[in-house]
Amino acid sequence: MNPFEKVELGGTGVAVTRLGMGLAPIGGLYAPVGDETAAAAIDAAWNAGVRFFDTAPFYGAGLSELRAGAALRGRDGFTLSTKVGRRLVPGVAAEPGVWAEPTGRVPVFDFSAAGVHAAYRDSLERLGRIDVLHLHDPDDHFTEAMGHALPALAGLRKDGAIRAVSAGMNQSAMLTDLVRTGLLDCVLLAGRYTLLDQSALADLLPECERRGVSVIVGGVYNSGVLADPVRAATFDYRPAAPTVVARAQAMARLCERHGVPLRAAAVQFPLGHPAVVSVLVGMRSPEEAADAAAMAAVPIPGALWRDLADAWLLDRATPVPAYPR
């Protein structure tokens, strides 16, 4: 694949590269990063050819947005997305182990129309520009998100404040309901269309394909096990079950036979579906940015996908990338 090819989100005119940079890690996810390393990571992704960057106020309680804004100001030709549904207020984080660089602010859910507009203004100040806005994790606030937040986003798009409306979640069912409103240009789906979990094939992906809604896939490593399937690996941010680790290890062995790193197969697999336009990979350092770019560009023979299906590690009906033949 060409990871730096640009493709359009829906019919918006907004272009993203096939490989995008997920900016949660530079918010100090699990370990401090620092301003200098964060800027260097963005520079490395940019120099590799990445032109799609995704962040959120939730990531480091504004720290990811501040660092992204500082690193990207003055550049052109890229797309920047962030999220609404949480406001930042003064406080001390209840989960200090998740975000390792305290900012004196904490996120609180707010899917009201006023909350959406306020969060948009706050993020715009930190970032300098916003192209795409996602509703962020409305799982427990779905009625308010549907009735208030989503129309507010559509209003921002109509007014020209943003260019595309989206929603980002770790589940496909609610995203499918949101797509059916006809108000979304794209969605960000995390962890539900990977080598280990194709559950979105049952609802979201066919619905998006029918409606021309673009899908951005995140969480392609399922939080770690598809990057390095060791006994202590995590799956969806929890210790991976032995059966999950064993399945990932079996995939890794087949990949190795074809000279393909498991990471490369994990990054490229989602792009085999016609509705998927881009894959986001979290990058916290120049080294991780270089690795993601390299994995996205590894040539993968069609025989690998066939072998995965022959080993019952991938359903034969699952679409897979068609390059190279």
Catalytic residues: 59
- CA distances to 185, 188, 205, 237 from 209, in Å: 12, 14, 6, 29
Phi/psi zone of residue 191: left (φ > 0), alpha (ψ -120 to 50 degrees), beta? Answer: left
Q: Is 210 exposed, middle or buried (0-12, 13-18, 19+ CB in 10 A)?
A: exposed
**DSSP per residue over 118-174, as a string?**
HHHHHHHHHHS--SEEEEE--GGGHHHIIIIIHHHHHHHHHTTS-SEEEEEES-SHH
Contact 277, 7 (CB under 8 A): yes
Q: What are phi and psi of 51, to 5 degrees?
A: -130, 20
Cross-strand partners of 80: 53
Cα–Cα distance measured from residue 276 to residue 187, given in angstroms and rounded to the nearest whole number: 10
Residue with the two structure tokens 């100040």: 125
H-run or E-run covering 84: strand 79-84
Render 220-276 in DSSP notation, one character per residue. TTGGGTTT---TT-EETTEEPPHHHHHHHHHHHHHHHHTT--HHHHHHHGGGGSTTE
Report helix, strand and coil shares of the chain as percent, to nearest 5.
40, 20, 40
H/E element holding 189? strand 186-190
